[in-house]
Structure 1
């Protein structure tokens, strides 16, 4: 089975982006100010955005599971750039640079299938809602990981290296979860009501729909448990991880199986 690969320009952008992320990760510890660290990450962020645009609007537009992951990583990095302005003490550059570099290379290796020119004009909006939802939950997972690490280090009376108070991380985590849940709800409702206009067929209870609904239920239980029963800490983080894993299986997992394992369009 021969898998499609990115164009030469796509590979050039991907390699340049990965190199820029590696350089940003190497230089960031030598930069004292938050603005200085953002400045050295700006070229990588810009190149990453250019690689995404080329994949969607280039000579042969493609989209697939790897492109969705790359867009998610770019949105998480965008969120980090904004948060650095509000919380200069936040430190997660190594993880995010590695995430961005890996995602853009995977997207070049597996660019996905060509986009159909006959697709509904509303399909890009539906995909945008879905990708934004992925980005918000990915940001929540990053903050939950920082929160868990800070909690462990606090119990050991050591520096957490997160640079932010534990309660602030917890509030940010659930704000991202709430926003992601709203977008996930909108995405599911739009897919259910306008499936024929978007995809040319009625709503199907396939693996993508089932996993998406299971993820929605998991996040709903998490938010309800936090508001009614005060869920927090490890238990809440585990539910968040479970819901995010189900959401990944819904689109990224199913498209990976279709594109890579089975070698055909989803």
Structure 2
């Protein structure tokens, strides 16, 4: 068994443990062997460990010819090598890292019930999708330092923040539905109040929307310099603009019409789904379907 496969298995196990303990706490169960004070450190500790292992694997998968083939291959020609699978893995890693950071300042620790499984899926996709002979996605230093490089660098944190917002929207829907069931005991006891979850959802969306707006402006400026036009109307651009418009309408609806609850959560999920299609969906079609 290769060292990289051991690390992937360990990362998956840690993500699973974190999710398991979070679900038990969400249902009001105590973690065997840990009192309430210790359990508050257990889940962040497991999350930090998973992020560290995931980041180590991700670094070597991007800067080598594939961590499934070992770490002795060196750097890919021309710079970092980012395939579709590695981009998904990076987005999952950023989401987990942002979730951990946000959980220290907001009541968002339960978001790990959604975010940690997404990180698990992301690390598996990143591992199984590596082609050690591929250099089709290598970036030169000049490209990295150009406007398009900044556009790509900002896109991943934007996806990460909006992924955490997506997780908050999912939990908000679950909690809201449980509260409306006849049995009052259906509510997950350690979840924050609905008002707190709504507040967290909208400030996450606002932050992600602002980053998305800056990223679109950088992308248009780079496009103008490259082809002399602000926009190159392809599927990626159209889906990105549509996602931006959905988030803009949702934030405006919150301010003007007081949208909240399941309405806001459902539209967040829809807008995030469109954003996923904008990048990962179009790359999947271009790289895996059309190229074959």
* TM class by smaller structure: 0.7 to 0.9
- Among 240, 249, 255, the alignment partner of 1:221 is 249
Q: What residue is the counterpart of 2:274 in the other structure?
A: 246
| Deviations, residues 42-85 of structure 1 (Å, cap 9, x unaligned) | 22110111122223333333213332322222222223323432
- Among 89, 92, 99, the alignment partner of 1:73 is 92
Any stretches of 5+ residues in structure 2 without a counterpart? 25-30, 65-74
1:136 and 1:209 map into 2 onto residues whose CA distance is 20
1:121 equivalent to 2:140? Answer: no
Give the secondary structure class of the aligned counterpart of 2:164: helix
Deviation at 1:12, TM superposition (A): 5.1
Q: What pairs up with 1:202-221 in 2 under 5 angstroms?
A: 202=228, 203-221=231-249
| Deviations, residues 70-101 of structure 1 (Å, cap 9, x unaligned) | 22222222233234323568324443332111
Deviation at 1:232, TM superposition (A): 0.9
Give the secondary structure class of the aligned counterpart of 2:145: coil
Q: Which has the larger radius of gyration?
A: 2
Go from structure 1 to structure 2 and tell me whether the alpha carbon gap of 1:102 and 1:163 turns closer, same or farther (over 3 Å shift).
same
| Deviations, residues 116-135 of structure 1 (Å, cap 9, x unaligned) | 32525233321121111111
- Among 130, 135, 139, the alignment partner of 2:160 is 135
Q: What pairs up with 1:1-266 in 2 under 5 angstroms?
A: 11=5, 13-26=7-20, 29=24, 30=31, 31=34, 32=36, 33-58=39-64, 59-60=75-76, 61-87=80-106, 90-111=109-130, 113-117=136-140, 119-122=143-146, 123-156=148-181, 157=184, 158-161=186-189, 163-195=191-223, 200-202=226-228, 203-263=231-291
Deviation at 1:14, TM superposition (A): 3.1
Go from structure 1 to structure 2 and tell me whether the alpha carbon gap of 1:26 and 1:79 turns closer, same or farther (over 3 Å shift).
same
> How many residues of Structure 1 are paired with residues of Structure 2 in the alignment?
255
**TM-score between the two structures when normalised by the length of structure 2:** 0.78
Superposed CA RMSD in Å reads 2.4
CA contact (8 A) 1:27 1:40 kept: no
